Amino acid sequence: MRIALAQLNYHIGHFESNTLKIIDTANKAQKLGAELTVFAEMAISGYPPRDFLEFEDFIDSCEAQLDIIAEACFDIPLILGVPIRNTTNKGKPLFNAAVFLFQGKKKYFRKGLLPDYDVFDEYRYFEPADRFECLNFRGKKIALTVCEDLWNVEDHPLYVKQPMEELILEEPDLLINIAASPFDYDQAEKREKVLRKNVEKYKLPLVYVNHVGAQTELLFDGGSLAMDRNGRIISRLRFFEEDLQIVDSDSYSTHFVNALPGKIERIHDALVMGIRNYFQKLGFSKAVLGLSGGLDSAVTMVLAARALGSENVYAVLMPSQFTSDHSVQDALDLVKNLGSPYQTIPIKEIYQGFENELSETFKGKAFDVTEENIQARIRGALLMALSNKFGYILLNTSNKSEAAVGYGTLYGDMNGGLSVLGDVYKTEVFELARYINTDQEIIPENTIIKPPSAELRPDQKDSDSLPKYELLDRILYAYIEQRMGPEAIVKLGIDPHTVARVLRLVNSNEYKRYQSPPILRVSPKAFGMGRRMPIVARYLS
Amino acid sequence: MRIALAQLNYHIGHFESNTLKIIDTANKAQKLGAELTVFAEMAISGYPPRDFLEFEDFIDSCEAQLDIIAEACFDIPLILGVPIRNTTNKGKPLFNAAVFLFQGKKKYFRKGLLPDYDVFDEYRYFEPADRFECLNFRGKKIALTVCEDLWNVEDHPLYVKQPMEELILEEPDLLINIAASPFDYDQAEKREKVLRKNVEKYKLPLVYVNHVGAQTELLFDGGSLAMDRNGRIISRLRFFEEDLQIVDSDSYSTHFVNALPGKIERIHDALVMGIRNYFQKLGFSKAVLGLSGGLDSAVTMVLAARALGSENVYAVLMPSQFTSDHSVQDALDLVKNLGSPYQTIPIKEIYQGFENELSETFKGKAFDVTEENIQARIRGALLMALSNKFGYILLNTSNKSEAAVGYGTLYGDMNGGLSVLGDVYKTEVFELARYINTDQEIIPENTIIKPPSAELRPDQKDSDSLPKYELLDRILYAYIEQRMGPEAIVKLGIDPHTVARVLRLVNSNEYKRYQSPPILRVSPKAFGMGRRMPIVARYLS
């Protein structure tokens, strides 16, 4: 059977657009000779719709769109993901299902394993299915599963149930999995390993269709694929782009297998897609950002220019009395390299205004973080003024290391509609900069090699108040990504006082991160919806 | 059997403090003649510890504290809630359990129904128990359950399982439920109704022990109670305060039954507790806030004064060219009534600084929301400067109606460590003001009766850009609390254009609420952790 893998970029709740895209693609696939076209999990609504799933009106809309597709594609057999109502008298109100549509008939296949960890909340909305059966179509038995249904193959399985153990009893010919599997820089390998485990265990060929595109912080890399029954990839769709390929489940000869990009390339492409989709889906085209001459804003600016076009990224230089000449020059060099519009707004006079109004109140008090923050907040307010007046979205330029230890000013440099680098550690930002400069110097070399500084007081350097980034990032990775406790981190050979200090900084700055913009997620553990921490807790703080 | 109900205010992750409190209270209860002392769900760690539960180190700490309590209370039988490891080879890594401690023995009773809706994420961490058994102690059989285990009594039950149906087979003498049941203004009645349904269905007397106190946005009202087998409340502990009472499960005579406060009184007391605990648990004592002369900041200030003491609430008046004389006078009158410290910082000069720097860029552009926002952001920056310099926490004064429709300035009046009124609709803020003024005029009458205005442009009124609050709040309540779709809301008799406009405002301002401070939760559906919405969605927007 010739099966089309339709890897599309959906828009949450934008039903007309999703439906049109599905119908167009189904028609295109049929013309290319497909006998069955497979779309991703929850294709109809986009993923994740989150609490819109609690609205009857939203579920009604999903049903209405499904009818439109069923009618428009009457003679085109297709599979796609939909939320459907639980019509039994017990359990959560919905199921997460795959539906097989053909000639006016709808056959549903309910998801049995509901991810509820990290960024996933599926048990919040859905009842897990407890019975599973194959789809019979054109003489083939298809074990049709939804995403997580195939992910219970570890030695210490996260779920008590195992849908495939039931399905295999029907002796299926083929395994199809529709998914909404978000990107992180390790995910493609993890995903292929899990899929291959299923293929090898059940000795079945596999068709796997994923989402592509960004939904605010969640990035979907695509990478849909087909495997033969030996676990050999015979088709792999593009990463970070829509794609359509047709495989033959009988011959299973090799089709086009797109290469898996390297880690830094993946992060780069994911961030560019994340920025681009955020603007597109909100109906915006232009970005503004503060360009300091430092590394983070430089890398953010290049990524934005690649996502939106250089001419659509407006850079603002806002020097203060503490800004070095080389910073201004580095910022100007970058703007020149990109050919982007920019302007300079000195903050000295406004700062003077704040100082005047507060001088009485602050009399006898030393210059401290207060005055540093005032500078950052003036810049934040200027950038928002440009955003408001001209309809730009402000891009936040903080990195993950800073976000982790609270090295940033709330309502100042933490401002923005979207955080581009908030899931990229400083040491990885360096790698990104080097990657960007592979062919030519786009980011000025001086921006990369000079010691990082916030330039909010005379001769300030990040290393005055933080451990060196190599060490800091090692501790942060162990604590955040690996959930190691202080003793375990110290056993890696790191000084106990430094470990305690860093963990204290992370935990006592939860209140800042609570108010930070959404962060494009590229790691297995990003700040935001996938990491939920209490604020008033007193633990390692 | 004489059973002590120990209703305590725990601090998440503050193990030493929680353990000490548990040991002290157990000793006190024993001295008062208790034969069994019952503490709340997850008492050992505080609730909810959220993703700290993913740290082995955190679970180790819970175990270590349990050993300390077991040793210190060797001869005092007690029940308390703990997270414990799942030592089977399948499923989530933890169980949410009640433990019975006595003479060195620990007997565990695992929770079967895991709430995963609104503010709850229990399936994220815990495996649901699938077997249930009674505790045998001093000749009594006790059906010992954890919170949600008793909540599956609706006609359309949310869970397929029913722990009590198993437990009742053992013919228990008594029902004990330990809980972490957060406050909303309807919750006490809902809770007692659910508990009574169990008592009546199973014909058992009940002891129910809840948390009290605030954990950032989540407020616990206490209201622990005992019912006889007829559903009569024979003991009800205090609301919003720690309490300890002893009931006799054999005689079941009436003990002290604390009265249930009215709705507005409940909200008032909950907010005061929320402010007080937020400061206490973070180790702060002083608040700062911007006092505009309007209703929201006035009510916030009174609540803060009641929580922290008038002398610990610092009011800042920040008039602009658009501020009316009566606003300044109303603000001063309130400060005088409370006897709180205050200062006035005009923002005109700083605003002039912004105007100067932006004049070239904004040439030919009309005064719009940009200039309004600059004023709000100057105020936000001034308040944060005072917060930084003197160690105050800034209280946010936005109400729920504004938060819903995005009528507020991000990084301006949306600033703050904690939002006091963010779950209180404007019409309810009026009720709170009247309640506060019951005995004497604390909030100036003029503040209550004048038309609400942001005073960011000449003669501005909220009603220029929003429907009247009575109408707006009706639409918002239908959409947010009741999850009604546009058609259903129109059927309430409301103009379709107004409905569409309000829902569009709600949905298109999700990006603002994403960055708002944590909001003290007093309604069944507050913005924040209990309402999770995508930002880039295109649905009713």
Domain shared by B329 and B246, yes or no? no
Do the chains contact at B57 and A488, CB–CB below 8 Å? yes
Give the 3-state DSSP-derived string for A14-77, with helices as H, strands as E and coil as C: CHHHHHHHHHHHHHHHHHCCCCEEECCCCCCCCCCCHHHHHCHHHHHHHHHHHHHHHHHCCCCC
**Pseudo-torsion of CA B485, B489, B495, B500, nearest 10°?**
-20
Q: How big is chain A by its Cα radius of gyration, in Å? A: 26
Nearest Cβ partner for A157 among B51, B90, B539: B90
Do the chains contact at A90 and B157, CB–CB below 8 Å? yes
Is residue A328 assigned to a domain? yes
Domain shared by B194 and B324, yes or no? no
DSSP labels for B98-138? EEEEETTEEEEEE------STT--GGGTBPPP----PEEET
pLDDT in tens, B278-312: 999 999 999 999 999 999 999 999 999 999 999 99
Is residue B118 assigned to a domain? yes
Give me the interface pTM, i.e. the ipTM: 0.96
Tell me whether residue A41 is one of the annotated catalytic residues: yes
Domain shared by A398 and A450, yes or no? yes
How far apart (Å, rounded) are the C-alpha atoms in residues A424 and A443? Answer: 17
Which of the following is catalytic: B62, B73, B111, B192? B111
Which of the following is catalytic: B41, B148, B217, B402? B41
How far apart (Å, rounded) are the C-alpha atoms in residues B244 and B377? Answer: 47
Tokens describing residue B494? 């409301």
A11 contacts in chain B (CB < 8 Å): 536-538
Is residue A427 assigned to a domain? yes
- For helices B426-436 and B469-476, angle between their N-to-C axes, nearest 10 degrees: 120
Q: How many domains does chain A contain in total? A: 2
Domain shared by B463 and B508, yes or no? yes
Domain shared by B425 and B344, yes or no? yes
B157 contacts in chain A (CB < 8 Å): 89-91
Indicate the helix (H) or strand (E) that contains B328.
helix B325-338
For A515, name the nearest residue in chain B, comparing CA atoms only: B515
Do the chains contact at A12 and B539, CB–CB below 8 Å? yes
Domain shared by B325 and B209, yes or no? no
Nearest Cβ partner for B518 among A51, A157, A535: A535
Nearest Cβ partner for A124 among B13, B116, B538: B116
Query: Which long-range CB contacts under 8 A does A193-198 form with residues at least 24 apart?
Result: A194/A150, A194/A151, A194/A153, A195/A150, A195/A225, A195/A227, A196/A227, A196/A231, A197/A153, A198/A150, A198/A153, A198/A164
* Sole residue written with tokens 């947010």: B480
Do the chains contact at A536 and B356, CB–CB below 8 Å? no
Is residue B531 assigned to a domain? no
Is residue B534 assigned to a domain? no
How far apart (Å, rounded) are the C-alpha atoms in residues A252 and A2? Answer: 10
**Pseudo-torsion of CA B219, B221, B226, B230, nearest 10°?**
-90
Tell me whether residue B161 is one of the annotated catalytic residues: no
Is residue A279 assigned to a domain? no
How far apart (Å, rounded) are the C-alpha atoms in residues B52 and B58? Answer: 6
How far apart (Å, rounded) are the C-alpha atoms in residues A300 and A263? Answer: 18
Domain shared by B310 and B231, yes or no? no
Tell me whether residue B111 is one of the annotated catalytic residues: yes
| Contacts for B107 with CB less than 8 Å, ≥ 6 apart | B99, B100, B135
Domain shared by A185 and A317, yes or no? no
Is residue A537 assigned to a domain? no
| Contacts for A105 with CB less than 8 Å, ≥ 6 apart | none
Contact A149, A113 (CB under 8 A): yes
Contact A81, A98 (CB under 8 A): yes
Q: Residue A55 belongs to a domain with what CATH number?
A: 3.60.110.10
Q: Residue A429 belongs to a domain with what CATH number?
A: 3.40.50.620
Domain shared by B89 and B170, yes or no? yes
Which of the following is catalytic: B122, B147, B400, B426? B147
Q: How far is residue B479 from each of residues A501, B466, B472, B484, B491, measured CA to CA in Å?
A: 45, 16, 11, 5, 13
Domain shared by A252 and A372, yes or no? no
Query: What is the span of the domain harbouring residue B465?
Result: 286-514
Domain shared by A297 and A431, yes or no? yes
Could you read off the pLDDT tens digit of each residue along chain A, which spans 541 residues? 999 999 999 999 999 999 999 999 999 999 999 999 999 999 999 999 999 999 999 999 999 999 999 999 999 999 999 999 999 989 999 999 999 999 999 999 999 999 999 999 999 999 999 999 999 999 999 999 999 999 998 878 999 999 999 999 999 999 999 999 999 999 999 999 999 999 999 999 999 999 999 999 999 999 999 999 999 999 999 999 999 999 998 876 777 889 999 999 999 999 999 999 999 999 999 999 999 999 999 999 999 999 999 999 999 999 999 999 999 999 999 999 999 999 999 999 999 999 999 999 999 999 999 999 999 999 999 999 999 999 999 999 999 999 999 999 999 999 999 999 999 999 999 999 999 999 999 999 999 999 999 899 998 998 888 999 999 999 999 999 999 999 999 999 999 999 999 999 999 999 999 999 999 999 999 999 999 999 999 999 8
Domain shared by B256 and B294, yes or no? no
Is residue A78 assigned to a domain? yes
Is the whole-model pTM more than 0.90?
yes
Nearest Cβ partner for A358 among B89, B385, B417: B385
Do the chains contact at A534 and B365, CB–CB below 8 Å? no
Helix (H, G, I), strand (E, B) or coil at A461: coil
Phi, psi of B287 (to 5 degrees): -115, 155
Give the 3-state DSSP-derived string for B457-469, with helices as H, strands as E and coil as C: CCCCCHHHHCCCH
